Structure 1
Amino acid sequence: MTLAPPRPDPAPASGALAFKLAGARLEARPSGALWWPERGVLTVSDLHLGKSERIARRGGTLLPPYETLETLDRLAGEIAATGPRAVVCLGDSFDDLEAAALPSPQAERLAAMMAGRRWIWIEGNHDPGPVALGGEHLAELREGPLVFRHAAAEACPEAGELSGHFHPKARTRGGARRCFVLSPPRLILPAFGRYTGGLDVGAPALRRAAPGGLALLAGARVLAAPLERLRG
């Protein structure tokens, strides 16, 4: 079953970068979200909602408890800009299962975004079980030429693969930038959450997952750079 029927393919939004993966035309957006205009599918990864609460609960460093609302606000902005028919969250949407019990204002904000569209939670390593929220909870999703999963498969994927998990970042002259890692047939999305760290694109795990290709650098404008130029 498809997420949504095809629709006209408009020009990419300001600052976004359009490319093709397994025949699907996708857009890397400056926010770190991925847009599939033909199917009306917005994809984000590694929201890590509730991270400050989880750290405090476990006796860690106290952080300002505003990252969840900031992340939800950014996600709401992407939904307002694209008007998706479906939203796919590629796992680690919550920092752990207890963090999924969002306070009322945050839960209501999320519920408003979910209303009227298909919403799919892909299981991650931080949130492996179902949460008491609406939407669908899947280990992975196959849609047309693409497979959506939390972490890149060890073997080369049999279709275009969208994943997260690594929180890729690249060192540039202007400082570290979150980035997509495009190594066909796979694309690794950056973390969308406010308090998420990042793994340098030169780290061994990312070298194995994406031995070559491009870094699509998020920011005011998405820029493409060869991965090898960014790896030490």
Structure 2
Amino acid sequence: MDGHAFTLAGASLVARPSGALYWEARNLLCVSDLHLGKALRRARKGEPPLPPYETRDTLTRLESDLRRTGATTVICLGDSFDDTLAALALPAAEKLWIAKLQAGRRWVWIEGNHDPGPVDLGGTHLAELPTPPLTFRHIANPGQSGEISGHYHPKMRLALRGQSISRPAFLIDGDRVILPAYGTYTGGLNCDDPALTGLMRPEALAVLTGPVTHVLPMRQGARR
């Protein structure tokens, strides 16, 4: 399977180029920080507009990941919607699209700081999901091991073909994985930010997303 294969707490996982995490033994796909409806939320608040296509683009990529993996369990790891009103305001066609993706699958919405309450869509809504030996939650708990989280939208800047580019990145060490934001209109936090260096071990890796994954020491990005 495309992506970077690694082990956390004895579980064999794959960080996919798309930013999704796949756990083959559970046939489970995990994505974080979709921020669906961000363009709608910005328009509602009078902020500079964004092209209103991000939900369709994000769902297209998610549908592709589900087709490629055949996952029967999906965990959306918090901040799936840019806010609760954005979830309620999704066009009917996009709500139907989500319902079709959910059909025949176990679908879990983990609560995030942008979407703390349940939304009017199918699936199960949880604060976090223990699935031994792993635990899925939105924001990392420094005292936890075997943890899968999101929230920070980690990214790394690197030189590629003579150009400096920034890519979303998985951060991985022996205790945890922090997923990149999966949504189309999501910014990111550089891997040298103290919020991330304080969570990750010195030997942590950054797995950059894109057409193919690139694996680098996280601290390499912190030195740039």
TM-score under structure 2 length normalisation: 0.95
- Give, in whole Å, the separation in 2 of the partners of 1:119 and 1:128: 17
C-alpha distance after superposition, 1:112-163 (max 9, x if no partner): 000101000000000001111110000000012000000101x320x30000
2:169 alignment partner in structure 1: 179
The correspondence for 2:194, drawn from 199, 204, 223, is 204
Tell me by how many angstroms 1:185 deviates.
Answer: 0.8
The C-alpha deviation readout for 1:63-100, integer Å capped at 9, x for no partner, is: 11000100011101101111111000000000000111
Corresponding position: 1:98 with 2:85: yes
Any residues of structure 2 matched to 1:1-40 within 5 Å, and which?
A: 13-14=1-2, 16-40=3-27
Q: Which amino acid aligns with 1:69?
A: R
Corresponding residue for residue 149 of structure 2:
163
Unaligned runs of 5+ in 2: none
Quote how far apart the aligned CAs of 1:34 are. Answer: 0.2
Aligned: 1:115 with 2:98: no
The root-mean-square deviation of aligned C-alpha atoms, in Å, is 0.8
Match of 1:9 in 2: none
1:51 matched residue in structure 2: 38
The alignment of Structure 1 onto Structure 2 pairs a total of residues equal to: 217
* Pairing partner for 2:131 from 121, 143, 146: 143
Q: SS of 2:155's equivalent?
A: strand
3-state SS of the aligned residue for 1:26? strand
Secondary structure of 1:209's aligned partner? coil
Identical pairs, percent: 53
After TM superposition, which residue ranges in structure 1, 4 or more long, deviate above 2 angstroms? Answer: none
**Alpha-carbon shift at residue 57 of structure 1 (Å):** 0.1
CA–CA distance in 2 between the matches of 1:56 and 1:201?
Answer: 30
- Separation in 1, partners of 2:181, 2:26: 22
Matched residue, 2:47: 60
